[in-house]
Amino acid sequence: MPKLYSGAEIVFKCLEDQGVSNIFGYPGGAVLPIYDELKNFKSIKHYLVRHEQGAGHAAEGYARSTGKPGVLLVTSGPGATNAVTALTDAYMDSVPLVCISGQVPTHLIGTDAFQECDTTGITRPCTKHNWLVKDVKDLAKTIHKAFEVSTTGRPGPVLVDIPKDIQFQKTNYINYKRKIKLKGKSHNQFSKNDIEELVNLLKKASKPIFYTGGGVVNSGPKASELLRELVRATGFPITSTLQGLGCYPADDNQFLGMLGMHGTYEANNAMYECDLMINIGARFDDRITGKIDEFSPNSKKVHIDIDPSSINKNVKVDLAIVGDVKSVIESTIKTLKKTKHDFLKSNKQKTSKWWEKIQKWRSRRSLDYIGSEETIKPQYAVERLYELTKDKDTYITTEVGQHQMWAAQHYKFNKPNRWMTSGGLGTMGYGLPAAVGVQVAHPNKLVIDIAGEASVLMTMQEMSTAVQYGLPIKIFILNNEYMGMVRQWQELLHDKNYSESYTAALPDFVKLAEAYGCVGLRAKTPEELDDKIIEMLNTDQPVIFDCLVDKQENCFPMIPSGKPHNQMLLGPNDQKSKKITGKGRTLV
Amino acid sequence: MANSKSAYSFAGKKQKLDTHIIVVWVDNEAGVLARVVGLFSGRGYNIESLAVAEVDQSLNISRVTIVTTGTPQVIDQIKLQLKKLVPVHKVADFKREDKNVIFKEMALFKLVGNKIKLEKAFKACKKYDAVILDKTNKSHVIQITALRREIDSMTSNLKKFGLVSVSRTGAVAMTRGAEVFK
């Protein structure tokens, strides 16, 4: 007779079979049997967080920096509801997460038992799929299915809710055989004709632009390599969304920088005036398109996406290619080489005028800011951080707000999976726990959370996690004492009524660091900034870096709400010297 | 320049709305209806009527028929979003005007009145395959199957004949001819 395993054992057997080595979680009444088994599975390391939201974001950071699914283990009721923010965040940004939650015993479900909540009901709209396991015989099958759903197609979070009595019950475990990987294949719905049509459009275009997004990262490192090959083979300009940064090297001449609300002048104008837009793995988000009726009015639009429901959702496109980015680019390059061997040469002439125009936009230097010798400008701080870390293979996470946009604008990413930020949901408090997850996945790499003082306080307790496991994450706080982005909108749109956006009683971050048992550093002037950053980099412990920056600085350039791409608001430099004329000067 | 205080863009032009009948084949498992209905409410789509029942007992397949209105873009989104749900097998979409598709709803009417009124009521129902399911001296329960608007007009017509209660199903649909939707 084969050995019988308890539900709790089966959970770990499944995780082992799925190749999971790190999980993030927090124990509680309804998951105690699972926690009890932890000691018997040495290949799985558990990281105790301080709040279940932290477990979720840590798992996200782990997933995004490795491409593997992140796993979290939480208890019923408050454990599950605390994880909801992270699950929603992962859903919006297509991050593969598997959340295992405990539930009250099956006979108590529906009785308002202690720490009971309708977990599958609450998480239904924020997961790709979820399961309540009511029979221990279904447990293994369900967990393996959960991993499959989470990681195939457009990735996303899933949840498996396991009642406590199921964790105790015993059944046999049939070894899981990894099926032939369906990923890619079953999701590629494009035909040869689609690719030929795309190549045809590439040939005809005189004002083309690539617009790439997080889908390239999700398609794996090979997709980024192929993207680089395609962009170089065509000689076309390329811009990227917030999530796509790193797929194409930021210091390359063909890269126009990020686009969208706080994107560069050249990227947004090129999007507005192009005659061919090739969207690769992005989703025409409202922060990208601005006013949808006037979004890139004269272009043919191609959309490459693995999720058919992304196509024609916000913007109607002329050519839809449903498939995995990697496979689509691969066949595009193949077809391109076959049909037109000297594409680049023949194409240079055609796009030369376009490049001249782009150079003109570029010469506006839209990311410039007015420097200062007395106070640290936040942009300067990010620039220095970049200069001092660019030789290392650095992983950057962020919170949400002005600092996030400055990081995206001024930190130059050259590799995919190095940039972890909450884009879709915009979750303040994402960066610190995400950094924990990234550091777990990459113990010997430099991991920095570029943070704002308001955001970071939302999940500050996870410093305790970092200290416990000796994860030397660096929390680089651009401290302006305001919720900076809120303050900026209030200045520009609400007559400078700074309603509740100033935090009057902030903690002393250096002392706070000491209280957590890590290192606190503070920089007050531009003069001492470099030395302090170097000190931070040389510290082999978690560090909270309190960087006191200009309190009034705004994040520019900016597309005001309800405006198209060609009506950008540029920075104070431009506004003062009145260099901008016409539409570009339109203030909000 | 008008002072926009929104962090979002404004709604674009309103497009024309069409009525569609969406048929969804799903695994008959716990919570599946909540997934389908939650998708509609969560994304702001309409449900005019809904009919659900298991159609294949051995494979545990239920057939959900939803009548909805939306712009062509919204209807496309509804179909694509439905197809993404894990328990969904296939999704069919018919325009209400489609001549190749049969749409039917069933209604039960309870009428209370004298014999003459009840007879008149039954007569009025006759063209919609009327069946008397229950009969007493003072009352009838009549079943009809018809289109939505026909049932709508019958409910108002029957008031004068003593209609006291109406129960009706959502629309169900099936294509004409030998073809089966794959």
Nearest by CB to residue B7, choosing from A128, A311, A489, is A489
| Residue of chain B whose alpha carbon sits nearest to that of A316 | B73
Whether B49 has its CB under 8 Å from any CB of chain A: the answer is no
Count CB pairs under 8 A between chains A and B: 62
Across chain A, mean pLDDT equals 93
Contact call for A561 and B35, based on CB within 8 A: no
B55 within 8 A of A141, measured Cβ to Cβ: no
Among candidate residues A258, A458, A463, A485, the one labeled active-site is: A485
Give the minimum alpha-carbon distance from A15 to chain B in angstroms, rounded to a whole number: 22
Contact call for B9 and A132, based on CB within 8 A: no
Contact call for B34 and A588, based on CB within 8 A: no
pLDDT, tens digit, 9 for 90 and up, residues A117-156 = 999 999 999 999 999 999 999 999 999 999 999 999 999 9
Contact call for A293 and B3, based on CB within 8 A: no
- The model's confidence at residue B83, banded by pLDDT at 50, 70 and 90, is very high
B130 within 8 A of B144, measured Cβ to Cβ: yes
Contacts of A316 in chain B (CB under 8 A): 73
Cα separation, B52 vs A491, in Å, equals: 53
Task: With a cut of 70, say whether residue B78 has pLDDT above it.
Answer: yes
- CB atoms near residue A469 (< 10 Å): 14
pLDDT, tens digit, 9 for 90 and up, residues A477-506 = 999 999 999 999 999 888 999 999 999 999
- The model's confidence at residue A371, banded by pLDDT at 50, 70 and 90, is very high
Catalytic residue status for A134: no
A358 within 8 A of A211, measured Cβ to Cβ: no
Task: With a cut of 70, say whether residue B29 has pLDDT above it.
Answer: yes
Average pLDDT over residues A26-52: 98
The whole-number pLDDT of residue A574 equals: 67
Complex-level ipTM beyond the 0.85 threshold: yes
Cα separation, A73 vs A48, in Å, equals: 10
Mutate to test the interface with A, among B39, B86, B90, B91 (most CBs of A within 10 A): B86
Cα separation, A66 vs A75, in Å, equals: 26
Write phi, then psi, for A519 (nearest 5 degrees): -105, 135
Across chain B, mean pLDDT equals 92
Cα separation, A573 vs B38, in Å, equals: 49
pLDDT, tens digit, 9 for 90 and up, residues B91-144 = 999 998 899 999 999 999 999 999 999 999 999 999 999 999 999 999 999 999
Whether B44 has its CB under 8 Å from any CB of chain A: the answer is no
A181 within 8 A of A192, measured Cβ to Cβ: no
Q: With H, G, I as helix, E, B as strand and everything else as coil, classify residue A469.
A: coil
The whole-number pLDDT of residue A177 equals: 73
pLDDT, tens digit, 9 for 90 and up, residues A329-370 = 999 999 998 887 677 777 888 899 999 999 999 999 999 999
CA-closest candidate to residue A74, choices A95, A56, A96, A94? A56
Give the minimum alpha-carbon distance from B83 to chain A in angstroms, rounded to a whole number: 9
Contacts of A562 in chain B (CB under 8 A): 4, 6, 8-10
Task: With a cut of 90, say whether residue B15 has pLDDT above it.
Answer: no
Cα A267 to the center of its chain, rounded Å = 20
For A77-170, where are the alpha helices, taking DSSP H only? Answer: 78-92, 119-123, 139-151, 164-168
- The model's confidence at residue B2, banded by pLDDT at 50, 70 and 90, is very low
Among candidate residues A52, A266, A383, A453, the one labeled active-site is: A52
Catalytic residue status for A485: yes
Task: With a cut of 70, say whether residue B3 has pLDDT above it.
Answer: no
Whether B77 has its CB under 8 Å from any CB of chain A: the answer is yes
Cα separation, B158 vs B154, in Å, equals: 6
Cα B180 to the center of its chain, rounded Å = 20
- The model's confidence at residue A325, banded by pLDDT at 50, 70 and 90, is very high
A54 within 8 A of A436, measured Cβ to Cβ: yes
The whole-number pLDDT of residue A466 equals: 98
CA-closest candidate to residue A210, choices A153, A264, A248? A248
The whole-number pLDDT of residue B4 equals: 61
A544 within 8 A of A395, measured Cβ to Cβ: no
B109 within 8 A of B165, measured Cβ to Cβ: yes
- The model's confidence at residue A216, banded by pLDDT at 50, 70 and 90, is very high
Query: Which range, of A123-127, A386-390, A557-561, averages the lowest pLDDT?
Result: A557-561
Query: Residue B67 carries which side chain, given as an amino acid letter?
Result: V
For chain B, where are the alpha helices, taking DSSP H only? Answer: 32-42, 72-84, 115-125, 148-157
Task: With a cut of 80, say whether residue A12 has pLDDT above it.
Answer: yes
The whole-number pLDDT of residue A431 equals: 98
The whole-number pLDDT of residue A413 equals: 97
- The model's confidence at residue A571, banded by pLDDT at 50, 70 and 90, is confident
Cα separation, A88 vs A68, in Å, equals: 18
- The model's confidence at residue B180, banded by pLDDT at 50, 70 and 90, is confident
The whole-number pLDDT of residue B140 equals: 96
Nearest by CB to residue A125, choosing from B10, B30, B42, is B42
The whole-number pLDDT of residue A232 equals: 93
Q: State percent of chain A over pLDDT 70.
A: 96
Task: With a cut of 90, say whether residue A66 has pLDDT above it.
Answer: yes
A58 within 8 A of A24, measured Cβ to Cβ: yes
pLDDT, tens digit, 9 for 90 and up, residues A172-182 = 998 777 665 55
Catalytic residue status for A439: no
A397 within 8 A of A61, measured Cβ to Cβ: yes
Average pLDDT over residues A91-103: 98
